[in-house]
Amino acid sequence: MIPSCDTETLSADQYAIEGVEAGVADTGIHYNDRNDFVVFSLAGGTATAATFTRNLFAAAPVVIAIRHLQAISPQYLMINAGNANAGTGQQGLQDALDGCRYLAELRHTPIESVLPFSTGVIGEYLPMDKIRKGVDGALQNLSAQNWQAAAQAIMTTDTVPKIATEHFSINGLPCQITGISKGAGMMHPNMATMLAFLATDAAVPRPLLQQALQTAVDDSFHCITIDGDTSTNDACVVCATGKGRLSVSESDDIYDAFTAKLTLVCRRLAELIVRDGEGASKLARIRVTGGHSHEECRTIGSTVALSPLVKTALFGQDPNWGRILAAVGRAPVEPFELTKVDIFLDDVCVIRGGEKDKWYLEEDGIRVMQRDEITITINMNHGKHEIEILTSDLSHGYVSINADYRS
């Protein structure tokens, strides 16, 4: 994992959100001697919004979760790690439903009040006896202090749990947002390959919460890429319990302030995913500035971030700026003036006006490429828009992890 500059350690109480409890369990679905199952219990009146994978082979739990979310307000989120329940056809759908039904009957609630989520190996059927074991175990230890335990339980190839929280006030009214995520490979927008679960004690109407989440996801999880692959199981869920003092409405500036804080937490979780990228040794920030449009900046940044040659140069600590230049030039955007483009490695200018900067020294480029974190800035110099895409290097470790994933 790429070291994080954030070394703050918080207590379990500081992550807790009033109206949300989590329980964890060890089912042995894929891993030995570790928790791999989570149930979140939501207080009555909680509003829930979500975004899901756009992969046409959406996993069975995604199909069921979307269907249930459209029916009624969820009361439970049920997550298993180690088995994706994807590519499993009708049996997979039935298994996801049966898991929901088992929990719902134990809690005397409609089956639609349970949203299922799975992550792990594709193409294997869920071991339903272990799913029921997970439900039983997780319900027995529901606690508001279990966010950190839940972050660990949803891990697959992750090497560390990913959790973030933000305490803030808007117009003097206190509020909190806490979130966890998992993901280290098959990482790319639409959705960025991951699971993320967030909660807030604010009162937010569901349509407004969905709108805020989409904005937050677009500016965070949709701005990261590790390998360009998108999964079948991705989801990002936010739950607003309304147990705090802050109420968010569309008619005032509170919505914008709340959305900014939700985006901040999502960005922290997104960065933790990239830092933990499979086999990653470097975090690269691809900053595209001076673009005609936000979409142009996103397209150029993603093209550079996805380039295997750029990513292997990062791993090899090679300041091969020609690979960056070539990636910018092949980005599928409207033609631009080459003589306006500037490219920097951190503070070192390598391209000025579309050609090698006359003051550039190779040793300066090497010095930058030896760092754990690198910012590649591409200034198009023909507009006012900008974006930052996060990516990692491509190492021998990435190949090893994915070559041995199912073993």
Number of neighbours of residue 281 by Cβ within 10 angstroms: 16
Number of neighbours of residue 335 by Cβ within 10 angstroms: 5
Number of neighbours of residue 375 by Cβ within 10 angstroms: 16
Largest CA distance in the chain: 73
Which one from 51, 156, 193, 289 is the annotated catalytic residue? 193
Alpha-carbon span 85 to 33, nearest angstrom? 21
DSSP labels, 72-86:
S--SEEEEEEEE---
Catalytic, 193? Answer yes
Alpha-carbon span 285 to 282, nearest angstrom? 10
The upper half-sphere exposure of residue 49, i.e. CA atoms within 13 Å in the direction of its Cβ, equals 18
DSSP 21: E
Q: Residue 226's Cα: distance from chain center in Å?
A: 11
Alpha-carbon span 38 to 27, nearest angstrom? 10
DSSP labels, 332-349:
SS----GGG-EEEETTEE
Residues involved in catalysis? 193
